[in-house]
Amino acid sequence: MNKRDIRALSLEEITDFFNTNNEKTFRAKQVYEWLWKKSAIRFDEMTNLSITTRGLLENNFVINAVTINDQQISSDRTIKNAFKLFDQHVVEGVLIPTTNRMTACISSQVGCSLTCKFCATGKLQRLRNLNADEIYDQVVLLKKQAENNYETPLTNIVYMGMGEPLLNYSNVIKSVEKITSPEGLNMSPQRITISTAGIAKMIKKLGDDKVKFNLAVSLHAANDEKRSHIMPINEQNSLQALAEALVYFYEKTECRVTYEYIIFKDFNDTLFDAKELADFCMHVPCKVNVIEYNPIDDSEFQQTTEPRLKAFTNYLESRNVIVNVRRSRGKDIDAACGQLANKNKAVQKPVYK
């Protein structure tokens, strides 16, 4: 018999199941709490249910829990994980410890369909979307990893791993609901950032849904020709269309946008590039994260020089743009921005405290 994934059911559907099977309906709420608030991955963990009730659940449902298949530790204490899904597919997630925060970087798709030239994940085929519970499980596992290995609570979540979150809109939104709900992990939506390559119509949908989490846009060039060269999605989502969508999003949510700008040597690192970026920043209240490039196999790009990076950021600041330079972490284990491509080596156990 094909068993149903119980975490795909609502509380009402679980209640209906208990009604149909002549079980007390309050048991449904207990099960729901075990699944989401307590993050149970086996029915025998649900110890306030009778053995008979647990057996009924076991006979009718499965919990398709995500597991850690492989793990690597960076010299800077970043931990990259290969997460195995119920159908044996693998996605990657990263725990990033810094002085002031502990961040979980999670995936939303198996592979990616966007083929951005600077991104290792973009060289993979998109195999499927992740379900909401699979996204949620990554957070649970990284949260436990932070607490067990660094004795620090998880503070932030970024949907910046494998895949384009807005091409898996429904499951991503459901996962955020479970992560932020008092009936789930009860994390603040202001601690969550979803990053998109810039799908205009879906950014407008975020506005219509009046989301409370943060939005980051992978911009990387404020020039259509250059952006289309490195990000083919720009051909259907031009900078003008993107700007219009972001204005709409801001009007609906009043949430400041973050632009991510990987800076490449001799490609997008001139003062004229900085001017184009500063001009684009005038559309909505925003900040810019300038990110150092992390080389991938067969890439045509290189890191820019420190003097050019400094001149670039100084120009942005002279235009009153809020700018931060992000130094990548986990580069030695291919865990940095743009490097996730299921290249984990042998398992290494965490040793840092």
Split at pLDDT 50, 70, 90, the class of 353 is very low
What is the number of structural domains in the chain?
2
Q: pTM of the prediction?
A: 0.90
Instruction: Find, among 179, 128, 129, 130, the residue nearest to 157 by Cα.
Output: 179
What per-residue confidence (pLDDT) applies to 124? 82
* 172 confidence band (pLDDT: 50, 70, 90): very high
Q: Is there a single domain that holds both residue 165 and residue 48?
A: no
Of 62, 89, 111, the residue at which a domain comes to its end is 62
Residues 20 and 140 in one domain: no
Q: What is the mean pLDDT of the chain?
A: 91
Both tokens of 167, joined, read 């091409």
Catalytic residue selected from 112, 116, 255, 337 = 337
CA distance 191 to 213: 7
- According to DSSP, residue 327 is labeled -
Task: Say how far apart CA 83 and CA 88 lie, in whole Å.
Answer: 9
Half-sphere exposure of 342 (CA within 13 A, CB side): 20
* Same domain membership, residue 141 and residue 13: no
The catalytic residue among 23, 92, 134, 260 is: 92
Indicate whether 341 belongs to any domain.
no
How high is the pLDDT of residue 1?
60
Q: Is residue 170 part of a domain?
A: yes
List of residues 6+ apart from 225 with CB closer than 8 A: none
Render pLDDT for 271-292 as a digit per residue (tens, 0 to 9).
999 999 999 999 999 999 999 8
Q: Is the pLDDT of residue 15 over 70?
A: yes
> What share of the chain in percent tops pLDDT 90?
82
Question: Is residue 292 domain-resident?
Answer: yes
Q: Give yes or no: 134 in active site.
A: no
Please check whether residues 109 and 216 belong to one and the same domain.
Answer: yes
Answer yes or no: do 75 and 36 share one domain. no
pLDDT at residue 163 in the model = 94
pLDDT score at 115 = 81
Q: Are 135 and 171 in contact (CB under 8 A)?
A: yes
Token digits of residue 269: 């690192």
What's the confidence (pLDDT) of residue 347? 36
Terminal alpha carbon distance of the chain: 46
Per-residue confidence at 331, pLDDT binned at 50, 70, 90?
Answer: low
Average pLDDT estimate for 154-173: 97
Active site (annotated) includes residue 151: no
Q: Does any domain span residue 228? A: yes
Q: DSSP assignment, residue 232?
A: G
Q: What is the pLDDT of residue 333?
A: 60
The interaxial angle of helices 271-280 and 306-318, nearest 10 deg, is 40
Classify residue 14: in a domain, yes or no: yes
In a domain, 349, yes or no: no
Query: What CATH number does residue 295 fall under?
Result: 3.20.20.70
Please name every residue paired with 286 in a beta bridge, in sequence order, or none if there are none: 257
* 162 and 236 belong to one structural domain: yes
- What CATH number is associated with residue 15? 1.10.150.530
Instruction: Reply yes or no on whether the pLDDT at 175 is more than 60.
Output: yes
Q: pLDDT digit string (tens) for 93-117?
A: 999 999 899 999 999 999 988 888 8
Q: Does the residue 339 lie in any domain?
A: no
Task: Specify whether 176 is located in the same domain as 299.
Answer: yes
pLDDT the model gives residue 350: 35
Residue 338 clears pLDDT 60, i.e. is over it = no
Residue found by looking up tokens 């607490």 in the block? 147
Residue 155 predicted with pLDDT over 50: yes
Q: What pLDDT does 304 receive?
A: 93
**Could you tell me the residue range of the domain that residue 75 belongs to?**
67-333
pLDDT tier at 346, thresholds 50, 70, 90: very low
